[in-house]
Amino acid sequence: MADINLLSRLANLWQGFVSLWLTDVEKRHPEIAYQNAIDSMITKYDKLKTATAAILRRREDINARLSEAEKELEAVNADLNTALATNQDNLAVVLIQKKNALDASIKELSGEMEQARTDAEDAKGSLLQVKNEIQKLKDEKDRMLAQMASAQARVKIQNQLEGLSVDAEVRALDNVREHIKNTVAQAKMGQELRESDLDVQLAKLRQGSGTVTARQQLEEIKRARAAQANPAGKSM
C-alpha cells in the first residue's frame, strides 16, 4: 500500500512538473497554446458533426417508416371500406386489427419523429455553436498575437531608448567639471601661498623701496636741471 501511495505521489509530482513546463512554454509561445486549443475544438467539432449526421439519418429513417405506415394505413382503410361494403366480416375483422396496429405504430413513430426533429435541431445548433467558437478563437488568436507582437516591439524600442541614456556622458562631464574646479582651486591656493610667503613679501617691499628711491632721485635731478637752466634767478 505504501509503495502504491509513493508511486501515485511521484506520478502527481511528475504531472505537476510537466504542467508547469507546458505553461511556461505556452506563455513564451502563445501561438502554440492558441493552435492547440483550436485543434482540440476542431476535433470535437468533427466528432459532433459525425454524431449530428447519425441523428439526421435516424430522423430520416423514422420519417420514411412513418410515411410507409401512413400509406399502408390508407390502403387498409380502403380495403376495410370495401370489406364492409361487401359484407366480408371476417376480412373486415382482420383489417380492423391491422388498422389498430398501424394506428398504434403511427402514433409511436410520430412521437419518435418529434423527438428526432428536436434532437436534430439541438445537434445542428450545437454544431453551429462550436463552429462559431472555433472562428471566434481563430480571430482572437490573430488579434492577440498582433497585440503581442506590438507589445514586444514597444518593449524592444524602450530597451533601446534606455540603452541610449546620457547618464554616462553626464557623469563623465561631471568628473571633468570637478577636475577643472579642483585645478582652479589649486592654482588659487598656490597664488595665495606665494603672496603670504615672507621672501615674496620682502621682495615686494624692496621693489617698493626702490621705486620710492628712484622717484626721489628723479625729483633731485629735475631740481638740479632747473637750477642750471635758470642761473640768473639763482644770483638774484
Question: What confidence tens digit (pLDDT) does each residue in 107-121 have?
Answer: 999 999 999 999 999
**What pTM does this model have?**
0.51
- The reply to whether 38 and 154 lie within a common domain is yes
- The reply to whether 152 and 53 lie within a common domain is yes
Report the sign of the C-alpha dihedral through residues 39, 40, 41, 46, in that order. Answer: positive
Residue for grid cell 390508407 = 74
Range of the domain at 201: 170-231
- The reply to whether 40 and 139 lie within a common domain is yes
- The reply to whether 127 and 209 lie within a common domain is no
Question: What confidence tens digit (pLDDT) does each residue in 117-161 have?
Answer: 999 999 999 999 999 999 999 999 899 888 888 888 888 888 877
- The reply to whether 177 and 225 lie within a common domain is yes
- The reply to whether 124 and 182 lie within a common domain is no
* Total domains, the chain: 2
What's the Cα-to-Cα distance from 199 to each of 187, 193, 195, 202, 213, rounded to whole Å?
A: 19, 11, 9, 5, 21
Q: How many residues does the chain have?
A: 236
- The reply to whether 73 and 135 lie within a common domain is yes
- The reply to whether 140 and 186 lie within a common domain is no
Residue 104 lies in a domain: yes
